[in-house]
């Protein structure tokens, strides 16, 4: 008994712990080899993209493909910025992403507070409906939403992309924050209530500071979703100066296809510049991101 | 005496309840005020549900029975749109078939792959946070950028994938440029993008939630690595598996972005997914009525899949606490 549990404390999940000696060590080496091979497999497309984005037009169509550019062509990047309205697309995307993310985090936390801390008729039914909307394909609401925004005169504006996010965001964020708030002790609210604090003060001054981790998680996930959003901007935005990056790069790609000039390396540079911000955001807040996704899985 | 007075309280309280107090589901005036605040905090979402979800759903159900082409107002045509979808639209079946084919490839592969990666990361390896990050990064790639990158990687003449195939003596593989290989190629991209993503993290959290004493007990019984996996790990993470399976199916069936950018549904309608078909009918041909009917058929297919999944899940999903 004692011997077994001491083995287990060294790593209960390490299934090779029960294998001893050479076989265990071999298994461990194999696992490392596997992990490294997988890292290469996941990383290679990025490496190749980066390398292609720095190649000269004469190098890009060489077969077999070269691993690295002979001389890095940094002007490929300046060409994207000067010959295409890339900066405008970038700023459009930043604007839409930030406003939509802010709306998502603020409004979904209000709704989550209502679900987590109040009792009223219809609350549980409303929460169930909320969860059910997560299963709904966006296509069902897309056409009527298009008609709605068209009648409002919002086509070719950014409103359709961020206004809905100020109405609770999406069910996922409400669910995420409600789960987190449920885990905070109710005594905090009750003590403040007795001291005469209003419900809004409790939300803003007591719960929100405690919710920082989940707010950060929601903000990052919302940021990624908005940055990558594609079908809505395709439908709503028509003039090239209004494009977001996803529409812009897709437009650029079609342009490159029909152009007689070699633009593959420029296209790769545009793709790199589109991916980079998501990586920066991810690395600066990786901890929250991973926690948040894990949280939804366990409790869902 | 104390008991009596306590007993009387709840009996008298409901009698004094006003209609309004009853309506909001409260016991007292004070609670009723609080309940009203509860509604107020939920108000953004209640409005959002009505304006952006429930209203549009009803509207689209109505449009699905009409002919509606943006310029004219909708005219009622009964079941014509549905009839047309099933009887008079070849691309309807093509798109359903292509979507199913894609989902059948992507869902099981990604699910199994995510679980294997999570099992690997659950080992006590040096630097596993680095591996986790690297596995996860493809998932962050914007799909438009991903389409552009993979078109280049899978280029049938100049791409590195074909270089590798050629150098080991295999013929050029057409990947995204041939009707027969386009779906497996898109599945490969989806696998690369999704296998180390959310699903892997959710599995990892599930694995870390398996109580250690179960493994200890299995060790005492002399269980092998495989039988510990089969009889401890798998049952314990089966709820996580169900969650990932349902979301995986819905995600795969909704495939749109990558096909829209990389293949435009081609070649020869080889990647003409259902979501593309809806998009084309509604936003290129402006057949909003027919598009709505297609969207509803799509929603019903997804709902049926989810319900069937939940229905058969009690045969293989094990919930702790229910013995």
CA distance A204 to A184: 14
Closest CA to A174 of A128, A205, A207: A128
Confidence of residue A11 (pLDDT cuts 50, 70, 90): very low
Test A4 with B220 for CB contact under 8 angstroms: yes
CA angle A134, A137, A139 (to 5 degrees): 145
Amino acid B16: pLDDT: 65
Cross-chain Cβ contact A298/B209 below 8 Å? yes
Q: Mean pLDDT throughout A231-253?
A: 93
Residues 70-109 of B with CB under 8 A from A: 70
- What mean pLDDT is reported for chain A? 86
Q: Do the domain assignments include residue A22?
A: no
For B:104-143, CB contacts with A below 8 A are 117, 120, 122-126, 128, 130-138, 140-143
With cut-offs at 50, 70 and 90, classify the pLDDT of residue A2: very low
pLDDT of residue B6: 44
pLDDT of res. B4: 44
From B8's Cα to the closest Cα of chain A, the distance in A is: 24
Q: Could you give the CA distance from residue B206 to residue B201 in angstroms, rounded to a whole number?
A: 9
* Predicted pLDDT of residue B96: 94
CB contact under 8 A, A199 and B37: yes
Q: Check CB contact of B172 with chain A, cutoff 8 Å.
A: no
Q: Is B67 helix (H, G, I), strand (E, B) or coil?
A: strand
* CA distances to A54, A68, A160 from A72, in Å: 5, 8, 41
- For residues A188 and A184, give the distance between their C-alpha atoms in angstroms, rounded to a whole number: 8
Confidence of residue A19 (pLDDT cuts 50, 70, 90): very low
Domain assignment of residue A91, yes or no: yes
Q: Where in chain B is the domain with CATH 1.10.3720.10?
A: 82-313
The answer, yes or no, to whether the previous bond of B132 is cis (omega within 30 of 0) is no
> At residue A297, does pLDDT exceed 70?
no
- Using the Cβ of A210 and the Cβ atoms of chain B, whether some distance falls under 8 Å is answered with no
Contact A172, B311 (CB under 8 A): no
Residue B28 has what DSSP assignment?
S
Domain membership of residue A103 (yes or no) is: yes
At residue B321, the pLDDT reads 60
Q: Which residues of chain B have pLDDT under 50?
A: 1-9, 11-13, 323
Asked if the structure places residue A92 within a domain, the reply is yes
C-alpha angle with apex B75: B70 to B78, nearest 5 degrees? Answer: 125
Please give the C-alpha separations between residue A129 and each of A123, A168, A247, B53, B200, in angstroms, as whole numbers.
10, 14, 32, 11, 27
Per cent of chain A over pLDDT 70 is 90
pLDDT in tens, A245-258: 999 999 998 888 88
| Identity of the residue in B45, B220, B275 whose CB atom sits nearest the CB atom of A168 | B45
In angstroms, the CA A193 to CA A187 distance is: 10
pLDDT tens digits, A143-161: 999 999 999 999 999 999 9
The string of pLDDT tens digits covering residues A121-136 is 999 999 999 988 887 8
Contact A297 B243 (CB under 8 A): yes
- In B66-128, which ranges are E strands? 66-67, 75-76
pLDDT of residue A125: 94
Tell whether the model's pLDDT for residue A286 goes beyond 90.
no
* Length, in residues, of chain A: 300
Distances from the Cα of B111 to the Cα of A186, B76, B88, B105, B183, angstroms: 38, 44, 36, 11, 18
Q: Which of A4, A14, A271 sits opposite B148 (nearest CB)?
A: A271
Instruction: Note every long-range contact of A12-18, with CB atoms under 8 Å and residues 24 or more positions apart, other chains counting.
Output: A12/B212, A12/B215, A12/B216, A13/B122, A13/B123, A13/B124, A13/B207, A13/B208, A13/B210, A13/B215, A14/B123, A14/B124, A15/B123, A15/B225, A15/B228, A15/B229, A16/B123, A16/B225, A18/B219, A18/B225
pLDDT tens digits, residue range B230-254? Answer: 989 998 888 889 888 988 998 899 9
What integer pLDDT is reported at residue B323 of this predicted model?
44
> Contact, B175 vs B181, CB < 8 A?
yes
Residue A78 lies in a domain: no
| Cross-chain Cβ contact B219/A8 below 8 Å | yes
Q: Which residues of A touch B23 (CB under 8 A)?
A: 121
Q: Which of A21-30, A52-61, A255-264, B35-44 has the lowest mean pLDDT?
A: A21-30
Query: How many Å lie between the alpha carbon of B15 and the closest alpha carbon of chain A?
Result: 18
**pLDDT one-digit tens code per residue, A77-110:** 999 899 889 999 999 999 999 999 999 999 999 9
* Residue with the larger pLDDT of the pair A268 and A10: A268
Top residue of B21, B45, B205, B213 to mutate, by most chain A CBs within 10 Å, is B45
Q: What pLDDT is attached to residue A20? A: 55
- A39: contact with B, CB 8 A cutoff: yes
Q: Does A7 touch chain B (CB under 8 A)?
A: yes
The pLDDT value given to residue A8: 36
Would the CB atoms of A120 and B225 count as touching at under 8 Å? no
Q: How many domains are there within chain A?
A: 1
Domain presence at residue A76: no
pLDDT grade, residue A10 (50/70/90)? very low
How far lies B138's CA from each of A92, A276, B159, B197, B211, in Å?
Answer: 24, 12, 19, 8, 31
Range of the domain at A142: 85-299
Q: What is the pLDDT averaged over residues A54-60?
A: 87
Q: For tokens 């293949």, what's the residue?
A: B263
- Rounded to the nearest angstrom, the minimum Cα separation between B267 and chain A is 15
Task: Give B66's DSSP letter.
Answer: E
Q: Which CATH number fits the domain that encloses residue A239?
A: 1.10.3720.10
Q: Are A167 and B47 in contact (CB under 8 A)?
A: yes
Task: Return the CATH class of domain B82-313.
Answer: mainly alpha
Take residue A233 and report the two structure tokens written for it.
Answer: 């901007």
């Amino acid at each position: 008994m004692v011997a077994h549990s001491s083995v287990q404390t060294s790593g209960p999940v390490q299934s090779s712990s029960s294998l001893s000696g050479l076989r265990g060590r071999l298994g461990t080496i194999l696992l490392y080899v596997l992990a490294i091979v997988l890292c290469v497999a996941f990383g290679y497309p990025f490496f190749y993209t980066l390398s292609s984005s720095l190649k000269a037009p004469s190098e890009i169509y060489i077969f077999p493909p070269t691993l690295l550019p002979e001389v890095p062509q940094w002007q490929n990047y300046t060409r994207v910025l000067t010959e295409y309205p890339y900066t405008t697309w970038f700023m459009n995307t930043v604007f839409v992403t930030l406003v939509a993310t802010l709306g998502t985090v603020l409004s979904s936390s209000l709704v989550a507070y209502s679900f987590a801390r109040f009792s009223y008729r219809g609350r549980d039914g409303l929460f169930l409906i909320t969860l059910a909307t997560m299963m709904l394909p966006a296509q069902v609401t897309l056409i009527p939403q298009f008609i709605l925004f068209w009648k409002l005169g919002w086509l070719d504006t950014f409103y359709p992309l961020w206004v809905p996010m100020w109405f609770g965001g999406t069910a996922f964020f409400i669910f995420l924050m409600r789960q987190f708030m449920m885990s905070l002790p109710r005594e905090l609210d009750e003590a403040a209530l007795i001291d005469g604090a209003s419900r809004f003060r409790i939300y803003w001054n007591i719960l929100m500071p405690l919710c920082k981790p989940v707010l950060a998680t929601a903000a990052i996930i919302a940021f990624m979703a908005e940055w990558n959003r594609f079908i809505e901007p395709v439908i709503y935005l028509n003039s090239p100066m209004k494009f977001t990056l996803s529409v812009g790069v897709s437009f650029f790609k079609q342009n490159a296809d029909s152009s007689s000039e070699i633009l593959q390396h420029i296209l790769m540079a545009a793709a790199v510049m589109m991916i980079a911000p998501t990586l920066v955001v991810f690395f600066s807040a990786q901890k929250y991101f991973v926690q948040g996704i894990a949280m939804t899985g366990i409790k869902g | 005496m104390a008991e009596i007075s306590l007993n009387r309280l709840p009996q008298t309280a409901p009698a004094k309840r006003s209609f309004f107090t009853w309506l909001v589901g409260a016991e007292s005036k004070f609670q009723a005020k609080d309940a009203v605040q509860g509604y107020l905090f939920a108000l953004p979402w209640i409005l959002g549900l009505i304006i952006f979800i429930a209203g549009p759903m009803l509207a689209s159900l109505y449009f699905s029975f009409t002919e509606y082409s943006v310029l004219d107002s909708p005219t009622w045509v009964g079941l014509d749109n549905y009839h047309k979808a099933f009887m008079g639209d070849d691309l309807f079946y093509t798109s359903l078939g292509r979507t199913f084919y894609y989902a059948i490839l992507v869902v099981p592969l990604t699910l199994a792959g995510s679980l294997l990666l999570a099992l690997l990361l659950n080992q006590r390896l040096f630097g596993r946070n680095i591996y986790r990050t690297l596995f996860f990064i493809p998932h962050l790639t914007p799909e438009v950028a991903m389409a552009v990158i993979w078109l280049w990687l899978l280029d049938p003449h100049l791409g590195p994938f074909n270089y590798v195939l050629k150098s080991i003596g295999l013929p050029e593989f057409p990947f995204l440029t041939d009707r027969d290989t386009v779906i497996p190629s898109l599945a490969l991209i989806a696998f690369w993008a999704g296998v180390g993503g959310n699903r892997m993290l959710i599995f990892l959290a599930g694995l870390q939630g398996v109580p250690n004493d179960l493994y200890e007990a299995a060790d005492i019984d002399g269980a092998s690595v495989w039988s510990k996996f089969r009889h401890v790990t798998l049952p314990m993470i089966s709820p996580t598996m169900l969650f990932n399976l349902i979301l995986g199916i819905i995600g795969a069936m909704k495939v749109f972005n990558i096909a829209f950018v990389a293949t435009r549904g081609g070649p020869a309608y080889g990647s003409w997914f259902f979501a593309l078909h809806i998009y084309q009918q509604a936003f290129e041909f402006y057949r909003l009525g027919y598009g709505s009917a297609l969207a509803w058929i799509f929603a019903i297919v997804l709902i049926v899949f989810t319900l069937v999944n939940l229905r058969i899940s009690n045969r293989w999903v094990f919930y702790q606490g229910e013995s």
